[in-house]
Structure 1
């Protein structure tokens, strides 16, 4: 070594530092590659992505190869630095060379390349995959031996390298990814995806029209009131009952009955009778409140129906659900903004008390519990065990809110204050 010129030793040392930077940066780059983007590139036929994916199928072998190379060049660089230090300053140069080399390796061969790799992993990962593929074949016996010992140590702690090859997402993680796509997806389409992801856990109880809001026809009412109701109804299908919604006799499709009403230029009470109404009724169906949304959609499609009554375990009517309600419960409001949840510039939300917790969670990306009460009104009343007065402030599941309005029976409007 004493016969080798210092210029050559410095050149070799610089080359080793570059190799160390390559090993360090490529290790971080390959390990931080977005696996789903990588899979997308593989499907598109990207050659470098294919090589990277093959390497990542056995991360233990890849890491064994990278660390083998990195440790080799670092140890060799340390030895060269020691020789250079001794030739320049004698024994005193050993400590100085070690200190300088540590600082240089830390900055130029560790922090800088790993930071670059973390920010732009594909820049280093894809070229490195072309280098590591043949190297892995060449040094396979050594790598295999190292992995055999390392994996044996891991098995002592109950960890098997072969069991952790596949990257998977659970439902909550997938929802978090979708919720964070603000820059590439409008909110309304993001809400649709969140609704579909959450479809399995949603039931008809979550999206039904509550019993007290059901608009129907009491067949015992005077005929002129019934006709007036038919003409002004915003709904195309109405339940028909006797005195109480619990005594439903069927559903009336307004298209069939209004055709009879408007067939003449003028009509009187005699143009239609209650018998005409009952003759055009569709047999009602009753849906358990715990029925999942996706199953009820399938049931509606199979039975060629679009509306049903929701009942509890005792058979009492709790609400009404239609195919439109089911679809809206999944995809939310597509054509219009949410009328019952208004967000203000300061980050606060004005929420109608009848809004379902599930819908509010989807709009705000909160995690209010959905296991108990289904509406904001119900959640607050369960929490306080009373109907609070207007102006009441409380913290509900880490959210500060104020009661804005109420009636005798329920909270009608709530304001969630900024975090």
Structure 2
């Protein structure tokens, strides 16, 4: 080595540092690859992705190859740096060792570790894909040594009860998938992001959360006189209506208003025509998850169902549209909902809110965080907070919301004024 010029030694040392940086960046790049994007690229026949995916199928071999190459290069560079320092300070070997240790550590840390690994972490595909064929060749060349090292390492891992043959799966939980969607940024438009999150939320919601309560159900009572029924048929804004006798629990069926002309123009008796045109009622348990009921609507080819409790009493109705609105947002075809919303902003900054309004809809409309794990309606939330049914206007504070009961009727809060507490 004493006959080799220092310029050649420095060139070899620089080349070894480059090799060390290659192995360091390759390790970080391969381990930082997005597994889901990698699978997508493999399906698209991306050659670099295919090679990288093949190497990642056995991560122990890949890591063994990278670490073997990196350590060989680093040890060779350290030995060569020692020789260079001794050539530079032949009369003071202690100074040579000290300077070599400091300078070589800084050079390796900056040029062979920190910079390449940071670059690979920021752009893993640009590093991992070109490096994949090189690593595959090295894995084949170093296979006997890598196999021996991996065998010893895996045996040590088994001693601490780590099964290297069953790594942690890449599957995501619902909450993890929800986080992925939220953090997708501009890659997914905000409207699509909202729809995806709404689909995931379907499993946490039941029919009871979105049904039209019994008190708001509009139907045809066969016990009414014919003029009343005719006027209701002419003025209705609903496509499908439950038909019953006296009260909703005595349901006869569900009438599609497009069938009305069949019996009105053919001389049928009104009530007989309604009964003949009705479809048998379809009942839904109130605690059915929304994603399950969406499938059931499709399976049974129904669009509306009567929601029943555990005793078989009808609690309200739920339609296919109600579930779809939870995914895509409110439709504009519901004239009744558009003309009488539950929330009425006031000039003083307060809000008049209908007691029959759903807490979830109020939160969504105003960006509030009223509790949704209890009663579904605003009136029910107030009554649960008070722990009694008020018989006169009272005021209460719920979290940061000041609530003033304005109107009470039929044992429920009809209207309340809400002001945000400062």
Map of 2:271 onto structure 1: 274
The structure showing larger relative contact order (alpha-carbon pairs under 8 Å, at least 6 residues apart) is 1
From 247, 251, 257, give the equivalent of 1:248: 251
Partner of 1:122: 125
User: TM-score, with normalisation over the residues of structure 1?
Assistant: 0.81
Q: Shift in Å at residue 371 of structure 1?
A: 6.2
Residues 85-234 of structure 1 aligned to structure 2 (within 5 Å): 85-89=85-89, 90-91=92-93, 92-164=95-167, 166-234=169-237
What is the alpha-carbon root mean square deviation over aligned residues? 3.9
* 3-state SS of paired residue (1:164): coil
Task: Tell me whether 30-39 or 221-230 shows the greater mean CA deviation.
Answer: 221-230
Partner of 1:42: 42
- How do 1:66-77 residues align onto structure 2 when only pairs under 5 Å count? 66-77=66-77
User: 2: CA distance between counterparts of 1:99 and 1:249?
Assistant: 90
> Could you list the per-position Cα deviations for residues 107-155 of structure 1 after superposition, in whole angstroms to 9, with x for gaps in the alignment?
1111111111111111110111011001101111111121122222222
Q: Distance in 2 between matches of 1:242 and 1:352?
A: 29
CA gap of 1:298–1:21, structure 2 versus 1, over 3 A, is closer
Change (3 A) 1:369 1:281: same
Question: Which whole-Å deviations, capped at 9, do the CAs of 1:44-77 have from their partners, x for residues lacking one?
Answer: 1111111100111111111111111112212222
Give the counterpart of 2:287 among 290, 293, 303: 290
Provide the rounded CA distance (Å) in 2 between the counterparts of 1:161 and 1:406: 66
Q: Secondary structure at the match of 1:282?
A: coil
Aligned length: 402
**Alpha-carbon offset, residue 321 of structure 1:** 1.4
| Aligned match of 1:16 | 16
Q: Contact between 1:358 and 1:374, CA under 8 Å: does it hold in 2?
A: no
Instruction: Call closer, same or farther: CA 1:358–1:55 in 2, change over 3 Å.
Output: farther
The 3-state SS of whatever aligns with 2:39 is helix
1:307-360 Cα shifts (integer Å, max 9, x gaps): 221111111211101222233344444779998799xxxxxxx99873464996
1:345: which partner in 2? none
Q: Deviations over 1:359-411 (max 9, x none)?
A: 968998x999876544676567656756899986544xxxx556587753357
Maintained 8 Å contact 2:263/2:274: no
For residues 130 and 416 of structure 1, the distance between their equivalents in structure 2, rounded to whole angstroms, comes to 62
Give 1:245 shift: 1.9
Q: What is the rounded CA distance, in whole Å, between the counterparts of 1:412 and 1:233 in structure 2?
A: 29
1:314 is matched with 311
For residues 151-202 of structure 1, give each alpha carbon's deviation from its aligned partner in whole angstroms, at most 9, with x where no partner exists: 2222222211221164221222112212233413333322332333344454
The 1:387/1:195 distance shift into structure 2, 3 A limit, reads farther
Unaligned runs of 5+ in 2: 344-350
